[in-house]
Structure 1
Amino acid sequence: MQLLTRPSTRMARLRHGAAALALTLLVAGCGSLEQSFQRGYVVPEGALEQIPLGSSQEQVLIVLGTPSTVATVSGEAFYYISQRAEKAAAFMPQKVVEQRVIAVYFDKDRRVARLADYRLQDGKIFDFVSRTTPSGGSELSYLTYLFKIIGTQ
């Protein structure tokens, strides 16, 4: 009878060991699954401080590079668009955690008239440079359109 008990005990140990190994691998893999995705333009540290009011359009291109899009609505403006999303696991959908639009507005002489750093704060577009919410008009409708486009990707 002892001979019959030993193989079954040995098999049970093997099953428990295999289950423990599988569980360990599964848990170890889950610990590092959180991923972050950056899309669009990444603002270099201190880049906005290198563009004082009155800077030329060429200087903006040297410091910030090619804009994501250019607008000619009531003057010329460069827009640098970015979005950061995260997902907790490979099978989970991405969740947008930050959307940002850097806007550089030029006067008729192609000199920087104003800089703006638009992000969403409490569900509203907010300029983190002037600390204001843009008023209605063509600028707000264009920014709303940009945030809707990058929010769907």
Structure 2
Amino acid sequence: MKLMNKTAIALVIATLGLSGCTTGVGDTIYSGYVVDKQSLDLIPVGSSREQVMLSMGTPSTTATFDNEVFYYISQVRRRSAAFMKPRVVDQTVVAVYFNKDGVVDRRASYTLQDGKVFDTISRTTPTGGKDLTFLQQLLSGGSGPGAAAAAARNMFQQAQP
């Protein structure tokens, strides 16, 4: 009888321990602007920049290359365990394009299938070129192709009397 009680207690403890591992596994993280159809309907083509700001709020980011563009970005990221890096599973970018007079020229909505994942957390833009580690920069003496040779020449010129 005692053996059966110990076995039952061990089984209950093991079950509780395993159920603790499975509850709460996986997180869904929502970030950015939540797209609201009603707010989008309040800014038809021809609306002013102020009307857009009043109905949509402050944009996630803007672009001012030719004409101004407001971007409202939202992302859904998931991770299967708390210690794992989240991966982007859904992304929506609402773009409001203005003409040179500052009125809405057109609106567009882009999803993950339309382009690259935009990293809203680090706020960095990937650039071309070679990324060097600290040690590589230290050993090369610079970042250009002839930087190591120039450093060696300078060292030898300073050593000569």
* TM bracket (short chain): 0.5 to 0.7
Match of 1:90 among 82, 104, 116: 82
TM-score scaled by length of structure 2: 0.64
The answer (yes or no) to whether the contact 1:87–1:94 under 8 Å persists in 2 is yes
Q: Provide structure 1 residue ranges, at least 5 long, that are not aligned to the other structure.
A: 1-8, 126-143
Match of 1:149 among 112, 115, 119: 119
Aligned equivalent of 1:68: 60
For the pair shown, which has the larger CA radius of gyration, 1 or 2? Answer: 2
Quick one: distance in 1 between partners of 2:4 and 2:77?
45
Quick one: distance in 2 between partners of 1:11 and 1:93?
45
Q: Which amino acid aligns with 1:60?
A: V
Over 3 Å counting, the alpha-carbon distance change for 1:45 and 1:88 in structure 2 is farther
Quick one: distance in 2 between partners of 1:91 and 1:18?
29
- Give the drift of 1:44: 2.6
Secondary structure of the structure 2 residue equivalent to 1:86: strand
Quick one: distance in 1 between partners of 2:25 and 2:90?
20
> Structure 1 residue 105 and structure 2 residue 81: aligned?
no
> Structure 1 residue 58 and structure 2 residue 28: aligned?
no
Output the aligned Cα RMSD.
2.6
Quick one: distance in 2 between partners of 1:119 and 1:27?
37
- Give the drift of 1:47: 1.9
Q: Note the alpha carbon deviations across 1:89-110, whole angstroms, 9 max, x for none.
A: 3344322111221111001111
Quick one: distance in 1 between partners of 2:61 and 2:3?
65
Aligned equivalent of 1:131: none
What is the identity percentage for the equivalent residue pairs of Structure 1 and Structure 2? 41
Match of 1:13 among 2, 5, 25: 5
Aligned equivalent of 1:34: 26
Quick one: distance in 2 between partners of 1:54 and 1:113?
6
> Structure 1 residue 120 and structure 2 residue 112: aligned?
yes
- Give the drift of 1:15: 4.2
Quick one: distance in 1 between partners of 2:18 and 2:64?
53
Q: Note the alpha carbon deviations across 1:82-132, whole angstroms, 9 max, x for none.
A: 2111123334432211122111100111110010111122xx43xxxxxxx
Q: Provide structure 2 residue ranges, at least 5 long, that are not aligned to the other structure.
A: 124-161
Over 3 Å counting, the alpha-carbon distance change for 1:85 and 1:34 in structure 2 is same
Q: Which has the higher strand share?
A: 1
Quick one: distance in 1 between partners of 2:118 and 2:42?
29
